[in-house]
Structures are given as C-alpha cells and as structure tokens.
Amino acid sequence: MDYQAITLDINDDIAVLTLNRPDVMNALNTQMRAEIIHAIKAAGREARVLVMTGAGQAFCSGQDLGDGGSAANLDLERTLRDEYEPMLKTIFNSKIPTISAVNGAAAGAGANLALAADVVIASEDAFFVQAFARIGLIPDAGGTYWLPRQVGFAKAMGAALFAERITAKEASDMGMIWEAVPDKSFDAHWRKRALHLATGPTETLRYIKTAIRKSYENDLDSQLSLEAQLQGKCGETRDFKEGVMSFLEKRPANYEGR
C-alpha cells in the first residue's frame, strides 16, 4: 500500500508506524485511520513488535476537526463506529506486542490512541490531555475504557471532567503509562525496548497479553484455569526449551519467535 498519512518501516523484526501529518500535529483523519489499520495488519505478518510514534513535535492531536468539512457537520457516531472502532480493535487484537512511543502532545483521540497499545513510553516533554469536555464531548476512542483500568475511577473521572494537561511524568506516576524518559535519550530508549520484545519469545508474549487482559473479566477460578492452560501451551514451545537451556548454560537465549 502507498501510505500518505503514515509511514511504515520494518527492520530487524521491528515495525515502526509513524503518524505523518506534522503540519496538523498528526491529527487523525479518515485516510490516516484506514492506513493505520492496514499497517498494523502488515506488521503482524512481517514483524515481532510494533511501535507507533509521531512525526514532528507531536504524537497526535486527536480528531482532525476539519476533515470532511465543518466540524459541526461531523457524524460522530458513524465516524466512531465505522472508523475508530476498527482501528482500535486492530491495535488491541494485534498478536505481537505494541508500543506507543509518545514523542510530544497526545490529545483527545490521540491520547487514547496511544493508550490502546500494550506499553506506552513517553518523552518527558510529552503530555496527555483528555480534551473532549472543552468542546462539549465525552472521551472517546476508547478513553472511557482505558483510563479507569489504568489509573482508577478517581483519576479517570478527574482527567475527563477537568480536561487538564497531564505531563508524561505525572502519567507514569499514576500508572497511565509505563515510563517517562528524558528527551535526549527517548529515541534510543524506545528502540532498545522494542528490540527487547522483538528478540523475545513471541508466542509467550502473546499469551501474556491474553492472560492479563482476561483477568479483568475472570473470577479467580477462571483465571487460574486460564493460566494453567496457557502455561501448558508455553511449555510446548521451542522458546521454553531454549529459555531453560540458556539459563542452565549461562548464555543469552536465542528465541526464534514464530
């Protein structure tokens, strides 16, 4: 596919998807959402980890309110159902680990796009803001799903109602994201994190994602049963055998992944 609103680079089993509309702070439009879906599916076939980041000074400023004409004429329900839902589900259901490398402002739907990844790493200069209430909207793009699970009821409600800027460090401290990294080392750091996952036991990482997500809907008995089932599958993999042998032989593991 000839991408116009994003770029996709795949090297060393790492797929880097860059939102590429820096002139509008990488605001999401119809074309970008469609290209993100296509790129994530391609990454799932060709890579072992996916990183999403932004071109220029921002990660993503949210919905492009000028997309398709006047913002007042946007069919918000249709846009969310037909364009955002498929994009967010494609990210969520990716079989490979996903990282959001938030290099700058992540606002509105852009903040929640970032939170859809398995892991969020942000530059200390970045910030998050649930800006929806400022223009008479509720958090969307999964915001009412991600936030309460990551930061709890009180912080999620405050973030939504007050629509205040949350720095990367504050986001890390409250559990919204995995970590905030100094700007000067940000690029090298998220690449190191991506390489760690890309050279890890790919099947195991997929089962980890499944187990942790299911814990939100399972009772203890169901979760323990799921753990046993998935651990049994892990035990049958070449990667488990390699992991044990590398431990006993005191050498780095060489995981084949797929």
Residues 6+ apart with CB under 8 A from 139: 112, 130, 132, 147, 160
The whole-angstrom separation of Cα 214 and Cα 19 is 30
pLDDT digits (tens, 9 = 90+) for 112-161: 999 999 999 999 999 999 999 999 999 999 999 999 999 999 999 999 99
* CB-CB neighbours of 83 under 10 Å: 19
* Average pLDDT over every residue of 42-57: 96
- Residue 64: pLDDT over 80: yes
- Residue 68's pLDDT is what? 64
- Residue 72's pLDDT is what? 58
As annotated, the residues of the chain forming the CATH 1.10.12 domain(s) are: 202-248
* Average pLDDT over every residue of 165-186: 97
Average pLDDT in the chain: 94
The whole-angstrom separation of Cα 172 and Cα 169 is 5
CB–CB of 49/99 below 8 Å?
yes
Fold of 6-198: 2-enoyl-CoA Hydratase; Chain A, domain 1 (3.90.226)
pLDDT band at 92 (very low <50, low <70, confident <90, very high): very high
The whole-angstrom separation of Cα 250 and Cα 235 is 20
The whole-angstrom separation of Cα 75 and Cα 215 is 35
Take residue 29 and report the two structure tokens written for it: 């439009």
CATH number for the domain formed by residue range(s) 202-248: 1.10.12
Give exposure, 109-129, as e/b (b: 16+ Cβ within 10 Å): bbbbbbbbbbbbbbbbbbbbb
pTM: 0.93
pLDDT digits (tens, 9 = 90+) for 99-119: 999 999 999 999 999 999 999
- Residue 257's pLDDT is what? 63
Any idea which residue has 């699970």 for tokens? 149
As annotated, the residues of the chain forming the CATH 3.90.226.10 domain(s) are: 6-198
Take residue 79 and report the two structure tokens written for it: 């846009």
DSSP 190-247: HHHHHHHHHTS-HHHHHHHHHHHHHTTT--HHHHHHHHHHHHHHHHTSHHHHHHHHHH
DSSP structural state of residue 96: S
- Residue 67's pLDDT is what? 75
- Angle separating helix axes 202-214 and 220-235, nearest 10 degrees: 170
- Residue 71: pLDDT over 70: no
Higher pLDDT, 32 or 2: 32
What proportion of the chain, given as a percentage, has pLDDT over 70?
97
DSSP structural state of residue 46: H
